[in-house]
Amino acid sequence: MLAYIDEIGETGAFVSRSDPRFSTSPAFGYAGFVIAAERARQFGQIFTAEKRKVFATEIAASTKPAQWEKKGSQIFHQTTIDRYPQQLRVFNGLAHRLRSLGGHLFYYADEKPCGTPKQTKLDTAARESAAMRETLNRLARHADDQGQHLLVLMDQVNEKQRVERMPAMYAHMFGRPGAFEEMKRIVEPPMHLDSAVSSNIQFADWVAACASRAIDYHLIESSQYAWITSGKVDAVRGLFTNNSKVHLWHRGVSDIHHSDLFNRERSLYPRIAGQRVGEGIPDGFLRALRAGSERNHAKRTNSK
- Per residue of the chain (304 residues), give pLDDT as tens: 999 999 999 999 999 999 999 999 999 999 999 999 999 999 999 999 999 999 999 999 999 998 999 999 999 999 999 999 999 999 999 999 999 999 999 999 999 999 999 999 999 999 999 999 999 999 999 999 999 999 999 998 766 777 777 788 878 887 766 668 899 999 999 999 999 889 999 999 999 999 999 999 999 999 999 999 999 999 999 999 999 999 999 999 999 999 999 999 999 999 865 555 555 555 555 566 666 666 665 666 555 5
pLDDT at 278: 54
Q: Which residues contact 300 (CB under 8 A, 6 or more apart)?
A: none
Q: Which own/partner pairs from 184-189 qualify as long-range (CB within 8 Å, at least 24 positions apart)?
A: 185/140, 185/143, 185/144, 185/148, 185/149, 185/150, 186/136, 186/139, 186/140, 186/143, 186/149, 186/150, 186/151, 186/152, 187/149, 187/150, 187/151, 188/151, 188/152, 189/152
pLDDT at 304: 56
Name the domain count of the chain: 1
pLDDT at 283: 56
Gap between the Cα atoms of 85 and 91, Å rounded: 10
pLDDT at 10: 95
pLDDT at 286: 58
pLDDT at 173: 82
Tell me the residue range of the domain where 143 lies. Answer: 2-303
